[in-house]
Every structure is written in C-alpha cells, then in structure tokens.
C-alpha cells in the first residue's frame, strides 16, 4: 500500500575521509555520502564518485555533483567516518579481529561506492567480501572464520585492493 501523502524522507550528508598512505597523519581525500531514508550513496558526477582533497571543498564538490544531493544542506564540515584503507589492510593481513570496525566499515563503504558507479565485484572477490562482512556483522573475530572457510588473507587483501582500484578508476575530482 502506498502511503498518501508520501512519506517525506530525511536527507542528510556525511563527510567521509580516506587514508591510503600509512604515513599520512589523517585523511588524504574525501567524499560526501548522501542518506535518503534507508539508502546511502556517494555524490557523483557523470557516473563517477566525486572526491575532493580538503573538507573546505565539500560545497564545491556538492555543487558539481549531479545525482540528486546538490540541494541538501547543511554541508558537513566534521568528519563522520575515516576509511583507513592502510590500517584496514593491516587488520586483514595481521590481526585476529577487527576491534575498531575498520575492516567492516571499509567493506561497507566500498559497497556503497561500487554500487553508485555500477561496478560489479568479480565473483571470487565478492564471495570473500560478503562472507567477511557477514562474519564481522556478528563478531569482531574473523581470523578463525577465514581459516575454517579456507579463505586466504591474501584473497581478502586482493579483494580490498581491487575495490580501491575500481573506485579510483571510476572517480572524478574537485579542488
């Protein structure tokens, strides 16, 4: 049954930072994630994720976006989430558990970014990312799960690096 009048969806923006270089002090680049109801997606331009280098460029990036969030205000200035790619890779390779949720959050953000640019993860990587995300949704410990499932840490690392490369290749920059 369709509600009448239609339910007004709350629309918000979140500032997301990314750190790829482990020697960097903080985020090296940013995007905005728009939330509308239960749906979240990054701002895009021409079907590409729109990134920027400084939080002060968020309004310029939002204005340049073309996927329906350009009119949402206020534009956030505080970081909502840091996707620490370098640390998540370390966790994937060396740790028994994802105590800070870095790996879980990174997989979730990559999922949003890849959906926005309509890229499909290769089946072998989708399987490991899906299984690890499901496990991390239940427990922070994942090393025994990988071992029991016969999934190599290297496959998880390859999947994360594929996502990083795919998102980078399907990106556009402002600022």
What CA–CA distance (Å, rounded) separates 95 from 117? 31
Q: What's the domain range around 143?
A: 11-174
Half-sphere exposure of 6 (CA within 13 A, CB side): 4
C-alpha dihedral, 52 to 53 to 57 to 63, nearest 10°: -10
Query: How many domains are there within the chain?
Result: 1
- Establish if 5 belongs to a structural domain: no
Model confidence pLDDT, tens digit, residues 19-53: 999 999 999 999 999 998 788 999 999 999 999 99
Q: pLDDT tens-digit profile of 120-164?
A: 999 999 999 999 999 999 999 999 999 999 999 999 999 999 999
Which pLDDT does position 102 carry in this prediction?
97
Residue 2 covered by a domain: no
User: How sure is the predictor about 8, in pLDDT bands with cuts at 50, 70 and 90?
Assistant: low
- Does residue 175 carry a pLDDT above 90? no
Residue 4 in domain: no
- pTM, whole model, 2 decimals? 0.91
pLDDT digits (tens, 9 = 90+) for 46-105: 999 999 999 999 999 999 999 989 999 999 999 999 999 999 999 999 999 999 999 999
Judge whether 6 lies within some domain: no
CA 52 distance to own-chain centroid: 15
Q: DSSP labels for 69-117? A: -TT--SPP-SEEEEEEHHHHHHHHHH-SB-TTSHHHHHHHHHHHHHHHT
Provide the 3-class DSSP secondary structure of residue 173. strand
Kind plus residue range of the DSSP H or E element containing 36: strand 29-36
């Amino acid at each position: 049954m369709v509600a009448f009048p239609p339910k007004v969806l709350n629309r918000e923006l979140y500032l997301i930072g990314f750190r790829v270089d482990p020697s960097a002090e903080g985020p090296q680049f940013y995007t905005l994630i728009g939330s509308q109801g239960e749906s979240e997606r990054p701002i895009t331009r021409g079907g590409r994720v729109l990134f920027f280098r400084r939080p002060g460029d968020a309004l310029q990036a939002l204005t340049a976006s073309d996927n329906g969030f350009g009119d949402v205000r206020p534009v956030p200035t505080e970081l909502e989430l840091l996707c620490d790619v370098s640390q998540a890779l370390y966790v994937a390779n060396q740790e028994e558990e994802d105590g800070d949720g870095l790996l879980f959050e990174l997989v979730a953000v990559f999922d949003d970014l890849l959906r926005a640019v309509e890229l499909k993860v290769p089946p072998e990587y989708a399987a490991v990312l899906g299984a690890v995300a499901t496990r991390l949704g239940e427990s922070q410990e994942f090393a025994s799960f990988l071992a029991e499932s016969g999934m190599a840490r290297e496959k998880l690392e390859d999947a994360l690096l594929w996502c990083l490369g795919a998102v980078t290749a399907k990106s556009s920059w402002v600022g």
